[in-house]
């Protein structure tokens, strides 16, 4: 075989292996939960790109991202096709563009920078330093993914450790810290099998330091970062409404009657929660209904928290918000305390980027309720009796530091969601796993109420206390604890981990240059 053909075949094999390794990553997350798989996938792509030229390594990283997001966010196709009225071809095209775009912006730069820094004129880094640099870049770009272009912190490596004993580290170092530990450990382990002329002692020391980090999880498993103060019986609901009918005027009455019927025997509960957009009417068109529900809640010394869109006429023009309202014991007014407006909006679902160009181009860019405004960053938390509640609407729960910051002044977390958009895909299960991690990071009970998806009560360890199966109507009655105290992650956020990741990138370069000059 000619040498050129052999090299070409080898390159194709590298690309296919990169794609396959990326596609295997989602097996570490729910609903599969094979948590060692991401370690193996990351280890393979680290070894594969360690000595490749910058261009080839960058392409391998891009294909790794395509595999990961192509397999792990396939639910985007469901949202666009089934609920965005796009044809299979158009939905496939838009999903493909999303996967290619996020791979190019969020994954490919890790490999571009890693390969470029690793092959500076000072000479290739020793394997253990390559492992540290790769791990640092990995976690830094997971963080970048949480805010760049409004953010998409989905499929973070640390989520794979949620249902393992090592999850006890989450209240201390957060999800990004778990990601760093997972990636650094496997890269250092794989670095040990690389033949090297340099002394192997630093590699062994670094690997055992990483192992010690895993070992800290055992004493932390018995650590109680927060303590119970108040116990609040609560009821959460699931009402299945076809997404294509939810905003149909002829179907709205049916939706409201269903919720009122489900609540008929639950008004004795201290807290009743209906999911996102449970009332598919703007607030100003439903004032009579809101007054009726408020009276019912007050008569029973109860608080009703529900999701509905709000049309705010306070300014020169009407603005629309995806909101949570608190009625009864927690109610004051729709434009004051007792209302929370969503801050983290979903592109295309709740607002249209470059609206003047895209609005009306295809049905997907003209979805119902896609003209929302962003809520203010300084909002009063909700109240229910003696409990102060940090509320999150749907997608907001995927942002680790955002959730932790809002939780600081609260004793209980509530997230409402309309997971109907995910259909029967793996999206709702992934979303639920993410919500559980937020409860663990903050040491708070979380009540999760969904139109579909998984409605559940989650405890302060991220464990599932009680749940309603998907695709069924139902009422979940359970007792939620209100807790005080703060976890280290709530106090310091992700900054210590990000600083460590930055040092893991910079210090190998410094030591290598210094060594070459001696």
pLDDT the model gives residue 168: 97
Residue range 148-171, pLDDT digits in tens: 988 999 999 999 999 999 999 999
Residue 318, SS3?
coil
Q: What is the mean pLDDT of residues 276-294?
A: 90
pLDDT the model gives residue 241: 47
Q: What are the φ and ψ backbone dihedral angles of 187, each rounded to 5 degrees?
A: -70, -40
123 has a pLDDT exceeding 80: no
Residue 147, SS3?
coil
Considering only CA atoms, which of 66, 99, 64 is closest in space to residue 80? 99
pLDDT the model gives residue 322: 94
pLDDT level of residue 115 (50, 70, 90 thresholds): very high
Q: Per the structure block, which two tokens stand in for 266? A: 């639950």
- What is the value of pTM for the model shown? 0.92
Residue range 165-209, pLDDT digits in tens: 999 999 999 999 999 999 999 999 999 988 766 667 888 899 999
Higher pLDDT, 500 or 240: 500
Q: Which of 45-49, 135-139, 468-472, 503-507 has the lowest mean pLDDT?
A: 468-472
Q: Does residue 31 have a cis peptide bond before it, meaning omega lies within 30 degrees of 0?
A: yes
Percent of the chain at pLDDT above 90?
A: 62
293 has a pLDDT exceeding 60: yes
pLDDT level of residue 516 (50, 70, 90 thresholds): low
103 has a pLDDT exceeding 70: yes
pLDDT the model gives residue 245: 45
Q: What are the φ and ψ backbone dihedral angles of 514, each rounded to 5 degrees?
A: -65, -40
Task: Give the position of tokens 């965005």.
Answer: 84
pLDDT the model gives residue 1: 53
264 has a pLDDT exceeding 80: yes
pLDDT the model gives residue 367: 54
Which residues have a catalytic role annotated? 276, 342, 394
pLDDT the model gives residue 335: 45
pLDDT level of residue 52 (50, 70, 90 thresholds): very high
Q: What is the mean pLDDT of residues 95-123?
A: 90
Q: What are the φ and ψ backbone dihedral angles of 417, each rounded to 5 degrees?
A: -150, 155
Task: Give the position of tokens 């997230």.
Answer: 415
Higher pLDDT, 436 or 254: 436
242 has a pLDDT exceeding 50: no
Considering only CA atoms, which of 284, 289, 280, 285 is closest in space to residue 242? 280
Residue 282, SS3?
coil
**Cβ neighbourhood burial of 371 (10 Å; 0-12, 13-18, 19+):** middle
Question: What is the torsional sign of CA 344, 347, 351, 355?
Answer: positive
pLDDT the model gives residue 244: 44
In angstroms, the Cα distances linking 242 to 174, 452, 470, 475 are: 36, 10, 14, 19
Residue range 387-436, pLDDT digits in tens: 899 999 999 999 999 999 999 999 999 999 988 878 889 999 999 999 99
pLDDT the model gives residue 474: 80
Helix axis angle for 495-517 and 170-192, nearest 10°, is: 30
**Averaged pLDDT of the chain:** 88
Higher pLDDT, 278 or 462: 462
Are 309 and 483 in contact, with CB atoms under 8 Å apart? no
Higher pLDDT, 489 or 247: 489
Phi-psi region of 485 (alpha: psi -120 to 50; beta: other; left: phi over 0): left
3-state helix, strand, coil in the chain (%, to 5): 50, 15, 30
pLDDT the model gives residue 337: 46
pLDDT level of residue 35 (50, 70, 90 thresholds): very high
Q: Which long-range contacts (CB under 8 A, 24 or more apart) does 509-518 make?
A: 509/117, 509/120, 509/122, 509/125, 509/133, 511/129, 512/120, 512/122, 512/123, 512/125, 512/126, 512/129, 513/122, 516/122, 516/123
Higher pLDDT, 295 or 69: 69
Are 389 and 336 in contact, with CB atoms under 8 Å apart? no
pLDDT the model gives residue 18: 98
pLDDT the model gives residue 240: 47
């Amino acid at each position: 075989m000619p040498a050129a053909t052999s090299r070409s075949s080898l390159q194709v094999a590298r690309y296919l292996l990169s794609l396959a390794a990326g596609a295997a990553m989602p097996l570490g997350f729910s609903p599969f939960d094979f948590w060692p798989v991401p370690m193996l996938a990351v280890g393979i792509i680290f070894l594969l790109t360690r000595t490749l030229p910058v261009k080839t390594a960058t392409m391998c990283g891009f294909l790794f991202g395509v595999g990961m997001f192509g397999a792990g966010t396939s639910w985007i196709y469901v949202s666009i096709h089934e609920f965005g009225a796009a044809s299979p071809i158009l939905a496939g095209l838009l999903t493909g563009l999303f996967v290619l775009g996020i791979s190019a912006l969020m994954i490919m730069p890790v490999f571009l920078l890693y390969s470029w820094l690793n092959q500076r004129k000072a000479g290739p880094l020793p394997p253990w330093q390559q492992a540290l640099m790769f791990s640092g870049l990995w976690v830094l770009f997971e963080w970048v993914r949480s805010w760049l272009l409004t953010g998409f912190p989905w499929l973070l490596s640390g989520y794979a450790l949620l249902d393992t004993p090592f999850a006890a580290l989450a209240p201390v170092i957060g999800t990004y810290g778990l990601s760093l530990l997972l990636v650094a450990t496997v890269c250092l382990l794989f670095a040990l099998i690389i033949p090297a002329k340099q002394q192997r002692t630093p590699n062994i020391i670094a690997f055992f330091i990483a192992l010690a980090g895993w070992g800290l999880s055992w004493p932390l498993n018995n650590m109680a970062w927060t303590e119970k103060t108040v116990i609040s019986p609560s009821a959460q609901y699931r009402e299945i409404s076809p997404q294509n009918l939810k905003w149909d005027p002829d179907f709205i009455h049916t939706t409201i009657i269903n919720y009122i019927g489900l609540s008929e025997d639950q008004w004795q509960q201290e807290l009743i929660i209906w999911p996102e957009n449970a009332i598919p009417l703007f607030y100003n068109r439903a004032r009579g209904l809101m007054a009726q529900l408020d009276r019912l809640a007050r008569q029973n010394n109860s608080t009703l928290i529900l999701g509905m869109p709000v049309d705010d006429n306070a300014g020169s023009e009407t603005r629309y918000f995806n909101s949570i309202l608190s009625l009864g014991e927690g109610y004051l007014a729709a434009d004051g305390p007792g209302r929370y407006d969503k801050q983290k909006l979903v592109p295309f679902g709740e607002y249209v980027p470059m609206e003047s160009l895209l609005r009306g181009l295809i049905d997907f860019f003209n979805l119902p309720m896609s003209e929302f405004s962003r809520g203010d960053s300084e909002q009063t938390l909700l109240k229910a009796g003696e409990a102060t509640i940090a509320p999150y609407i749907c997608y907001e729960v995927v942002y680790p530091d955002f959730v932790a910051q809002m939780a600081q002044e609260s004793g209980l977390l509530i997230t409402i969601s309309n997971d109907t958009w995910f259909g029967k895909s793996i999206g709702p299960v992934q979303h639920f796993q993410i919500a559980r991690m937020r409860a663990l990071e903050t040491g708070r009970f979380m009540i999760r109420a969904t139109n579909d998806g998984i409605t559940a009560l989650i405890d302060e360890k991220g464990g599932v206390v009680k749940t309603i199966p998907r695709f069924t109507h139902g009422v979940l009655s359970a007792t939620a604890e209100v807790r005080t105290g703060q976890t280290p992650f709530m106090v310091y956020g992700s900054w210590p981990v990000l600083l460590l990741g930055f040092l893991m990138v910079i210090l190998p370069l410094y030591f290598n240059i210094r060594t070459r000059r001696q």
